[in-house]
Amino acid sequence: MFPILGLAASMATAQVVPFTVTDDKIMEPLAGLVGNPTRGRMIVVNRQVGMCLLCHTGPFPEEQMPGNTATDLAGAGARWSPGQMRLRIVDSRRLDRRAFMPSFHRVEGLERVAPAWSGRPILNAQQVEDVVAFLGTLRP
């Protein structure tokens, strides 16, 4: 199976796993999972799965027309700890209620959610950990 299709298929049954926020981070990996940076990169650059490049730019020379409305992902691993990245991906609005970034691993209290996505997180726990692992590799 093509890996990205497998990622999208896993979203159909994804559930939000419990997590604890401490200050500006989620210290523990979701569900105790270990992220894979190769899969994480595939999620980040895929505009149908992670959708990151709709708003972010970064060290992705092969990608055409990355976004320019959000933080450049280059150097993300030096700017934020894994826990800080995890919270930003899971629910960036816990840090800034006005954030435009979607809550990728939250389903409660959201507004204007398409019916097909109601009750389902955008990324499952493994995908979140994969993205955290990949972003951690982005250092100057």
How far is 84 from 10, CA to CA, in rounded Å? Answer: 25
* All residues at 6 or more sequence positions from 48 whose CB lies less than 8 Å from its CB, including other chains: 4, 8
How far is 107 from 26, CA to CA, in rounded Å? Answer: 17
> Residue 115, Cβ neighbours under 10 Å: how many?
6
- CATH superfamily entry for domain 33-137: Cytochrome c-like domain (1.10.760.10)
Nearest 5°: phi and psi at 138? -85, 95
How far is 99 from 92, CA to CA, in rounded Å? Answer: 7
What pLDDT, on the 0 to 100 scale, is given for residue 100?
87
What pLDDT, on the 0 to 100 scale, is given for residue 13?
54
How far is 115 from 132, CA to CA, in rounded Å? Answer: 28
Question: What tokens does 26 get?
Answer: 């989620």
pTM of the model: 0.88
Question: What tokens does 23 get?
Answer: 């200050």
What pLDDT, on the 0 to 100 scale, is given for residue 111?
80
With H, G, I as helix, E, B as strand and everything else as coil, classify residue 17. coil
Domain spans of the chain, in order of start: 33-137
The pLDDT tens digits along the chain (140 residues) read 334 444 444 444 579 999 999 999 999 999 999 999 999 999 999 999 999 999 999 999 999 999 999 999 999 999 999 999 999 999 999 999 888 898 999 988 888 878 887 889 999 999 999 999 999 999 98
